Amino acid sequence: MRPIFLTLLIALAFWLRPAAAQMTPETAARAVAATLIVRAEGGPSRFLGSAFLYGAQDRAVTNAHVVGRAKTVRLEAQDGMSVTARVIAIDHARDLALLALDAPMGPPLQPGGPVPVGAPVYAVGAPLEAGFTLTAGIVSALGRQIAPTQPVRFIQHAAPVNPGSSGGPLLDAAGRVVGVNTRIADGSRFFVGIAYAVPVAQVTRFLSDGALPAHAPGMQVRALGPRMRTALGHTGPGILVEEVRAGSPARAAGLRAGDILTRAAGDVLSRPGDLAFALAASKTEMRVTYLRDGAARDVVLDLTPRAGPSLSTGGQAARGTEYKMADMGLILDPDGTINGVVSQGIGYLMGLSHGDRIAAIDGRAVGDLPADWASDMRFDRPLLLRIALSGGGTRHYVLDPWADPVGLRPSSGANVLDRDVVVFDGL
């Protein structure tokens, strides 16, 4: 009888346990009504992503990579209302943008507080262009810095999102905004159980204090692994300078490849991502401590914005110029098989993946192209690519380097031969 009694006691405790908060249908309806589809303004009504009313009926928040360089966009609500919105503020470091609507729409969403791991959350947006879609999951981790050059600690969650969800809100059970959905786990084309949102506290700081500074010290760094530490005889914190660009603030301050950076802006540097936070906390200069030949030295980097060329990260090509496939962030075999995709490069943001193969360009089989087409051939126009997917099947993609850019952040994948190298250069 004792096991039966114990079983009944456990069942009673389970039945009486506090129920996890769940979003009500009424709250869900309000959240969906405040979420918007973002389209390009003028010409073809090209889908860009998601946004949501926030703080006021004539203000909306989305991702910087959703609006790209557009000055105006078109916003559509669930009830069919459509208005023009102006991009009035943008923060590339946080990947946020603020829109001013030409006419007010429905009631805006309000901010929520911090959410713990395990809390239920809800994502609203237009995944795969399926507008006004709500999905549910939980907070799976907090404080994730997923791009070493981006000074943001993201909320990791399990509410399904897909391309098109970017810029939509992440909500708690009461329908309050806890984040802005921004990214899917790197290396995956579609949702695989891990998604990231910019915490609402970062949105509040963006709206009150403006964008984070876009400093470009002009160097590449890498984390110090155990073998490197042994070889260099270094046991403390620090990151290794891989390269310093000519004409950069880092070069002007006297930094060289092989230096070990130990502190920046007063903070200890243990990994490349720490440098991003130090840069974000600096204004026109930053003090750096480094080791060279075992001796500690201090320098001050001049971070005053300056014009000049920046190191390519596989991003947008300049209007009116030619480009190669490598400029699009694609590393190809001669048969068109993709062996590498630079994170946040044009190819990556199109959805191309390692193992996919370019079978034809503008209807012409790659076998009919010059032998060096994958590495050296230059193009001066958008291309229609027929892609043989690694999992089977085919897709067509338009490769257009001059379209509104969808990824404007620095990328750790700029050195495609070594993904541990992190580029701190111009946006």
pLDDT tens for each residue of 356-377? 999 999 888 999 999 889 888 8
Distance CA 158, CA 170 (A): 11
Strands 219-223 and 195-199 turn out to be: unpaired
Distance CA 311, CA 242 (A): 14
Average of per-residue pLDDT values in the chain: 84
Q: Nearest CA to 353 among 334, 340, 366? A: 340
The confidence band for 4, taking pLDDT boundaries of 50, 70 and 90, is low
Residue 18 has pLDDT above 60, yes or no: no
- pTM of the model as a whole: 0.71
* DSSP secondary structure letters along 75-102: EE-TTS-EEEEEEEEEETTTTEEEEEES
* Tens-place pLDDT, residues 28-70: 999 999 999 999 987 667 899 999 999 999 999 999 999 988 8
Q: What is the mean pLDDT of residues 69-83?
A: 94
Report residue 409 as tokens: 């952040």
Judged by average pLDDT, the poorest of 15-19, 110-114, 248-252 is 15-19
Residue 410 has pLDDT above 50, yes or no: no
Residue 27 has pLDDT above 60, yes or no: yes
Residue 213 has pLDDT above 90, yes or no: no
**Cα pseudo-dihedral 23, 24, 26, 31, rounded to 10:** 10
Distance CA 243, CA 259 (A): 10
The confidence band for 403, taking pLDDT boundaries of 50, 70 and 90, is low
Q: What is the pLDDT of residue 314?
A: 33
Q: What is the mean pLDDT of residues 407-413?
A: 34
Cβ–Cβ < 8 Å for 167, 51: yes
The confidence band for 19, taking pLDDT boundaries of 50, 70 and 90, is very low
Q: What is the mean pLDDT of residues 6-29?
A: 63
Q: What is the pLDDT of residue 344?
A: 55
Q: What is the pLDDT of residue 318?
A: 36
Q: What is the pLDDT of residue 419?
A: 57
Task: Quote the radius of gyration of the chain (alpha carbons, Å).
Answer: 24
Q: What is the mean pLDDT of residues 115-138?
A: 95
